[in-house]
Structure 1
């Protein structure tokens, strides 16, 4: 049985995705995965065609379409623009380029068959993804929209200088109901960037000590978490470490096992909190990271 062009594109891009994620330690931003594929694979005119309706490149759309198979198969997860290779996905690399995709599609159909029995005949591959499985094609497009939106938010935050990022964190805390007592000015801050309380006068416990690091491409180390713990002088103090990047596994372990109460807020958690409390912000706070929500018809899957 001859393979469709869509399947051929899917085989090489999905396999490349799995290898890229494995080499990156298991996870990477989806945009970076796509960029890496673009650097390592040469695509012909058909594969590089840009759809007039969506503006997306054919091979990128097909890749996103088949990542849904991989997610339902348990090989891949997506979280706020980050693609994560599961343990099962890493093992699936050994199947090879062709069998990996066939296995993922088979597992997806088994899942879909249980959800909607008899809807898809076993063994038939998609000749045209927009015609054979409209629902999955729509999910793929929405996935691309979501990743583009998330990348736009990330790029906006990355463009801020450290003091603007610090102000953004302070704005979020205010929207969450905290009262800012102090924001560090330029110069040495002794490991304390923001001090906040739960009441206007700071008479109630706890006192909240906030350390802010604007390093979008770096991990916060365990040593840095330890230093924050060292600034908590009162028994009731709570430490919050906010970064525009991520925390290393040792840093997460350090915060979890610390005698002091330390909350870690990485980029993903920061943006989630910003979206959650956005409606409670005034115009000045919203302008620190302006958002415009758009709602699409979803599904119950």
Structure 2
């Protein structure tokens, strides 16, 4: 049986789902972007920005991932995409067959709810994922304009919103490898105790030696290293962090923005002014 005719949208979605499958069934969206950017042949047109301000091939992926999710082949949670068992089985049909499968099932779901079928156009401005992507882009650009110490203050504010105390925030000058020390209680008597390094390198992927350097200052039981960047991490850095298991955690710019949005309501009014945002609400279908 020959595979159904493929489109570029089908190939991009299929490549992303296969990448998730290869990674054990789950993958952070930023890692999916990185993997496809490095291994999937993208045209100059696909790499351009759409009218909505997002990269075209990413818009294709985000747009059709809504359909993949609605038919039960994909679960999105906190920036991580999880391929379901049914989704993994559907991949056996190849790019064209997989696309026709979920797209057809989603069309039936829409008809059942008397909603018109989505056109194959990833530039529609009312697509929620694209609007969220555009909003995140604006927040990232705001962060990029900050200086390193202002970004360090943002990181400390986020930790406080997450319930940590930050008794130490490094002043200007050498920090000895640690920019922030954070505890779960005012006296620092409970675990984990976070040793945080903050790197404001928006255009640079953090190399593995920085991860190893942070790991080298984790001396005691209950100490956890946290490396926060306004950019990304190299593949070697991510692998090195995984070797530390739960003792070393990486947060890139995408996850930082997600966490800022998630915990914004828990911030003090003073901390909110460091990066002010407002919620936008849509009717849930």
TM class by smaller structure: 0.5 to 0.7
SS in 1 for 2:227: strand
Q: Is it true that 1:246 corresponds to 2:232 in the alignment? A: yes
Using the TM superposition, give the Cα deviation of residue 260 of structure 1 relative to its aligned residue in structure 2, in angstroms.
Answer: 7.1
Partner of 2:219: 233
Gaps in structure 2 of 5+ consecutive residues: 1-6, 17-32, 81-87
How many angstroms apart in 2 are the aligned matches of 1:296 and 1:40?
Answer: 28
- Sort the Cα spacing of 1:27 and 1:185 in 2 relative to 1 into closer, same or farther, 3 A: farther
How many angstroms apart in 1 are the aligned matches of 2:61 and 2:164?
Answer: 44
- Sort the Cα spacing of 1:104 and 1:297 in 2 relative to 1 into closer, same or farther, 3 A: farther
Using the TM superposition, give the Cα deviation of residue 252 of structure 1 relative to its aligned residue in structure 2, in angstroms.
Answer: 1.7
How many angstroms apart in 2 are the aligned matches of 1:117 and 1:200?
Answer: 56
Q: C-alpha offsets along residues 136-176 of structure 1, whole Å, 9 cap, x if unaligned?
A: 88785434322221111111111111100000000111111
Using the TM superposition, give the Cα deviation of residue 222 of structure 1 relative to its aligned residue in structure 2, in angstroms.
Answer: 2.1
CA contact (8 A) 1:173 1:179 kept: yes
Task: Identify which of structures 1 and 2 has the higher relative contact order when contacts are C-alpha pairs closer than 8 Å and 6+ apart.
Answer: 2
- Sort the Cα spacing of 1:175 and 1:16 in 2 relative to 1 into closer, same or farther, 3 A: same
Partner of 1:290: 276
How many angstroms apart in 2 are the aligned matches of 1:119 and 1:37?
Answer: 35
- Sort the Cα spacing of 1:205 and 1:77 in 2 relative to 1 into closer, same or farther, 3 A: closer
Q: TM-score, normalising length from structure 1?
A: 0.63
How many angstroms apart in 1 are the aligned matches of 2:144 and 2:36?
Answer: 20
How many angstroms apart in 2 are the aligned matches of 1:237 and 1:56?
Answer: 43
Q: C-alpha offsets along residues 26-81 of structure 1, whole Å, 9 cap, x if unaligned?
A: 446xxxx99x528889xxxxxx9xxxxxx869xx7xx958963476469x999999
CA contact (8 A) 1:229 1:239 kept: yes
- Sort the Cα spacing of 1:293 and 1:253 in 2 relative to 1 into closer, same or farther, 3 A: same
Using the TM superposition, give the Cα deviation of residue 269 of structure 1 relative to its aligned residue in structure 2, in angstroms.
Answer: 1.8
Using the TM superposition, give the Cα deviation of residue 259 of structure 1 relative to its aligned residue in structure 2, in angstroms.
Answer: 6.8
Q: Is it true that 1:210 corresponds to 2:196 in the alignment? A: yes
Partner of 2:175: 189
1:164 to 125, 150, 173: 150
State how many pairs are aligned: 246
Q: Please report the RMSD computed on the Cα atoms of aligned residues, expressed in angstroms.
A: 4.6
